[in-house]
Homo-oligomer: A and B are copies of this chain.
Amino acid sequence: MTLDFPTKVQIKEVGPRDGLQNERQFISTNKKVEWINMLSNSGMDYIEITSFVHPKWIPALSDAVDVAKQIERKEGVTYAALVPNETGLERALESEVDEVSIFISASETHNRKNINKSIDETLPIYDSIIKQANVAGKKVRGYVSTVFGCPYEGTVSVERVKKVVDKLLTLGVYEVSLGDTIGIANPKQMESVLNQLNFPTSTLALHLHDTRGMALANILVGLSKGITVFDSSNGGLGGCPYAKGASGNVATEDLLFMLQQMGIETNINFDEYIQASKYLQSLFSKQLRSHQLQIHS
């Protein structure tokens, strides 16, 4: 039996948003900007630069407007940002991001804990945001978290995931990024979930945290199922400081290396990219979790 893999994949860099948002250590605007510029120079063509969630909720990204204004905008790179509501969208549009993302949980409890609303209360808000964003010429991407498991509810039914994904696509997001928020998915489950989510693979992406080290194995399953878009974080930055062992997204450089070794094209220059990883590591006293960083330190 031969596994089929795509010849080309797009990596979406979420380090500056998903990576930074839970960090207790505030990284200055200057440093964020320098870092993002290095990411831009690596060949990365999609970078989620910040979140326009209210600064009181995510102090780490309180300088969203400044970051968006100060970074170099490299030709061919999509600079995206997370928005939770209309106010966030307004600030994002003023900041001239290229694209916005919205987020919802497959788990009711997680949604409520995260944004203080039920799933059904959240969707109409996003309906409005998507319409407004589209009118302003911006595409909208949707994140669904807890697809493979929830820290509160445990198992999350695939039926529920299907409903939410379907709803988002109907409302007009161009892509849904399926999140393994707690890094609990296993490859057999990944295959099963992807089999059941009968949406065009071109509308799906994977966003996998690497808490238990299975992200690359799960991504391999995703590749074999025709998924060609994967979110990852520079240095593997991220994760919740309040949950034991919680770690960030799979490290971009680890994913990049695997893809390159497999002959799968990404347009990213590894040597340039790892410079960004090293720079990022220099901003933290803790060891970032990327394997490639250990080798290239």
Give A contacts to B, CB under 8 Å.
1-5, 184, 186-189, 191, 195, 210-214, 216-217, 219-221, 224-225, 244-245, 247, 251, 254, 257-258, 261-263, 287, 291-292, 294-297
Contacts and interface: CB of A to CB of B under 8 A. Distances in A.
B295 A258 contact: no
A262 B186 contact: yes
Contacts of A263: 188
A188 to B, nearest CB: 4
Nearest to A186: B261
A212 to B, nearest CB: 5
Contact of A258 (B186, B210, B251, B297): B186
Contacts of A287: 287
B5 A188 contact: yes
A246 to B, nearest CB: 8
16 contacts: A1-B224, A2-B195, A3-B221, A3-B224, A5-B188, A189-B261, A189-B262, A213-B213, A214-B254, A216-B216, A220-B220, A245-B291, A245-B294, A245-B296, A245-B297, A247-B294
A172 to B, nearest CB: 31
Contacts of A213: 213, 216, 251, 254, 258, 291
Contact of A217 (B2, B217, B295): B217
Contact of A212 (B4, B195, B225, B291): B291
Nearest to A287: B287
A258 B214 contact: yes
A212 B2 contact: no
A49 B114 CA distance: 48
A120 to B, nearest CB: 31
A153 B3 CA distance: 28
A280 B219 CA distance: 31
A233 to B, nearest CB: 14
Contacts of A217: 216-217, 219-220, 258
A5 B1 CA distance: 12
Contacts of A292: 212, 245
